[in-house]
Amino acid sequence: MKLKLSKKIVKIAAINLALFIFAFFLIIIPSTVAKQPQHNNLEFKSQIIADKTKAQQLVDQAENLFQAGHLSDASRILQQAILIYKQSGDNLGEAESQANHSLILEQLGLWKQATETINISLNLLGWDTGNYVLKVNNPKSELLKVLAPTLDIFAGQQLRQGKSDAAYETAKHTEKFWRQLGDSTGVLCSRINQAQALRVSGFNRRAFDILKSVSTELQLQRDSVLKVSALRSLGNVQQQLSSLEESQKNLQHSLKIAQRLQLPQEISLTEFSLGNTTFALGNVNDAIIHYQNAANTAPNPLLKVQAQINQLNLLINNKRIAEAKTLISAIQSQLPSLPTNNTGIYARINFARAIIKIADKKDAASILATSVQQAKALNDARALSYALGNLASVYEQNKQWQEALKLTREALSLSQQINAPDITYRWQWQLGRILKAQLNIPEAIKAYDASVETLSTFRTDLAGANREIQFNFRDSIEPIYRQSVELLLQEKGENKPDLDKARRRIEALQLAELDNYFREACLNNQFVVLDKVVDNIKADTAIIYPIILDNQLEIILKLPEQPLINKTSIVSSQEVEQVIKEIRYNISEPDEIRKLKTASQQLYKWLIEPVEAQIKKSKVKTLVFIPDGALRNIPMAALYDNIEQKYLIEKYAVAMSPGLQLFTPKPLARKSLNVLAGGLSQMPKGEQFAPLPNVEIELKALQELGVSTVTLYNNRFKSTILEKTINTQPFRVVHLATHGKFSSKAKETFILASDRRIYVDELDKLLKSREWQRSEPIELLVLSACETAAGDNRAALGLAGVALRAGARSTLASLWQIKDSSTAELIKKFYYYLKTGKSTAEALQLAQLELLKDKELNLPLYWAPYVLVGNWL
């Protein structure tokens, strides 16, 4: 007879593979009796049936023992069942039991035996693990019903051993077998497993696409443990992609179902994930509560400790040291009870990384040394690399350079062998720091170069974190570039320092910042290098490239047909950032003009004075800044020359560029300007923005100047009408007079239409025509009533993001909101000068100078906020 496969048990198998923190369940698959050779001896047949019945009874007994936590006894009993299946020639029964036994061995920390056992099972089933091929032609459903869940188990073990690429391939083939069986639940489980493997490898967007599809299908199904897991997996990936509100929503849904079904493990796992998302949203206290809930409901020591480690990190980062030390003692007492599997090793390592900050480094080193030995015993190269690298970091902090160097090189070699760029770049960076400390500058530069190159190889998924590392761009990525540039500028010798390499290196940082901002690689267009524009097209332009380093402000200057020039102002990054803050604050306060000039002239002294003689000698008329860091948050036009008693805008036209490359530069055709103009004077219901009564005057001014204009005003300025209208003709200029906000978070950067907010990541779809497939971008995008988020040091990324998403050659926008009467006046003068044939930068300069001459509008508050980003021709 044939026993029916238990769907319930198969579901549990697949779910385990998709967990953020892996829990282990025994997967008991009732034996499917294989077709046996014909025998004439009826007594022998009866014996076979009796043996198989006995074997099944042993399997059931082993399951009960496992569920009760008696793993060794479960292993012993299951081995008896395996022997009976083997003696009776039942390959499928033996394969099923071997697969289950491998899970027990894994839970016991016997990874080598677990791997050997699952390989025996797969070999019995005819599966070639190296080539992902089933060596059985036309397999029957009985075989596939055993093979599919066994491969699910195998994929989970591969993932827990750090072999995420192999796990992904295995899960893809498993999906195919479930489809052949017509088992939709199995298909969903395999797709979840694929997404989890992709997420561990750092491919968050691909994982998200899979899980989104799975989630849609799950909405139609009844509540189940599978649905809880799928929603949690989706929420985890959304958290990595910064879709935080969506993440929280799916995780709360997952938690509600888990609570209704009374599933302690699922409740704990989902509370853990909610802690991660809540922390990412900035709610530290709520995050701590979620981690506490996760620890309190955790049915096993591993999950409890992992939740407590996350809680510990938050307590330390928020200076709650007394609470943190109490928690450290509680965690230390539980370390011996943690399983010696992949996840247990990472828990120990992450605990060691946390306590280094406030506890004895010897304790951390001891824990990491233990983790190294455990990773070796598991033959887990990734965990071993991670443990060695972190142990090396402890030696680095103690300035034990030789030990640090040796261990870092071991960690690096391992990570390269397993092709793990997400940790390789860290060890290359660590190697560079150690070599620098040893004054080996040439080799340190090579290590930093390698780290930057490694980062570029996985640029598309750089924004995501892997499961071990809480990804923090400013701590984990930005210092690599800045420290690298600092080293490059120290290099001596022929043609050294390499200034072009230095500025390209900091530009790579800016590109990485934008990728991180959008959570995807956002710049793949064809561009022209600015140097070529300066040398061949616009010879009255200079490019100023400031670079903020820890102890100096470096200025790299490009003048027409001249080699790069480098000057240095000795000033700390903290001093530079403080002056920038003072400028940003005082420029918007009418009564603080004196303080503004004091701060502004200080920055002028650091940034412009060192290169001013060369600029004047070259008879430059336009300055293009590629601002670094916080410099993006202030208008360079307002820098003040205290000697000549002039603002920079009174001496030069000023523009900004997000980088050293532009869309293919092309002067705006002034005589054939055609503008799509939209604006709001009255704000939609529910929005807190102030009315903009002068928007109508601003839009009418365009028509009065003879500019060909299609206008969408108030109720007609809807996102849907805007998209439809822009498809009617190839508008060269898009002018939007409406509230907007630039933030360091893409989800908080938007412009306001009458029907809704249009967020930055929608702009490319909205503003790029579907019917007219233009090969070139919008010539000019004007955003005349926007503002950067107050107190947000990286808010100007939102402005750069808007410019890029719009696909515009040039973007003219305001850095802060002012009274719209001055906006209308400046915009009118800007278009007037644009029509007379002035370059975009010159048109803005002349418009600003007219306001500067007006006694009522001559404060920088009124004329300075407008910045030109991109093409200045």
CATH (domain of 835): 3.40.50.1460
What is the CB-side half-sphere exposure of residue 715 using CA atoms within 13 A? 0
Same domain, 575 and 508: no
In a domain? residue 3: yes
In a domain? residue 369: no
What is the C-alpha separation between 658 and 464, in angstroms, rounded? 23
What is the CB-side half-sphere exposure of residue 725 using CA atoms within 13 A? 18
Instruction: Look at residue 45 in the predicted model and tell me its pLDDT.
Output: 45
In a domain? residue 331: no
CATH code for position 550: 3.30.420
- The number of angstroms, rounded, from the C-alpha of 370 to the middle of its chain's C-alpha atoms is 31
Same domain, 633 and 749: no
Instruction: Look at residue 465 in the predicted model and tell me its pLDDT.
Output: 36
Q: Tell me which residue range forms the domain holding 458.
A: 400-518
CATH code for position 404: 1.25.40
Q: Are the beta carbons of 618 and 542 closer than 8 angstroms?
A: yes
Per DSSP, helices labelled H in 201-335 are 204-218, 225-240, 244-260, 264-280, 284-297, 301-317, 321-334
Same domain, 541 and 430: no
Q: Are the beta carbons of 220 and 201 closer than 8 angstroms?
A: no
Task: For residue 483, give the nearest of 516, 445, 513, 517 by alpha carbon.
Answer: 445
DSSP 497-513: S-HHHHHHHHHHHHHHH
Residues written for the chain = 873
Per DSSP, helices labelled H in 335-380 are 342-355, 361-378
User: In 717-832, where do the E strands start and end?
Assistant: 733-742, 750-752, 757-759, 778-788, 808-814
What is the C-alpha separation between 174 and 186, in angstroms, rounded? 9
Q: Retrieve residue 311's tokens.
A: 């809680």
Same domain, 513 and 464: yes
Structural domain count, the chain:
4
Same domain, 575 and 658: yes
| Residue 329: count of CB within 10 angstroms of its CB | 8
| Residue 402: count of CB within 10 angstroms of its CB | 10
Straight-line distance from the first to the last Cα atom of the chain, in angstroms, rounded to the nearest whole number = 83
Task: For residue 455, give the nearest of 479, 486, 436 by alpha carbon.
Answer: 479
In a domain? residue 383: no
CATH code for position 9: 1.25.40.10
Among candidate residues 150, 168, 202, the one where a domain is terminated: 202
Instruction: Look at residue 40 in the predicted model and tell me its pLDDT.
Output: 44
Same domain, 752 and 832: yes
Same domain, 91 and 143: yes
Among candidate residues 501, 518, 535, the one where a domain is terminated: 518
Instruction: Look at residue 379 in the predicted model and tell me its pLDDT.
Output: 77
Per DSSP, helices labelled H in 608-711 are 609-617, 695-704
For the entire predicted model, the pTM comes to 0.74
In a domain? residue 239: no
Among candidate residues 202, 226, 257, the one where a domain is terminated: 202
Same domain, 839 and 726: yes
- The number of angstroms, rounded, from the C-alpha of 220 to the middle of its chain's C-alpha atoms is 31
Same domain, 109 and 176: yes
| Amino acid at position 138, single letter | N
Same domain, 55 and 189: yes
In a domain? residue 851: yes
Parts of the chain with a pLDDT under 70:
1-50, 67-71, 108-109, 202, 204, 240-242, 458-474, 519-528, 660-665, 669-671, 768-776, 793, 820
In a domain? residue 835: yes
Same domain, 647 and 711: no
In a domain? residue 650: yes
Same domain, 44 and 176: yes
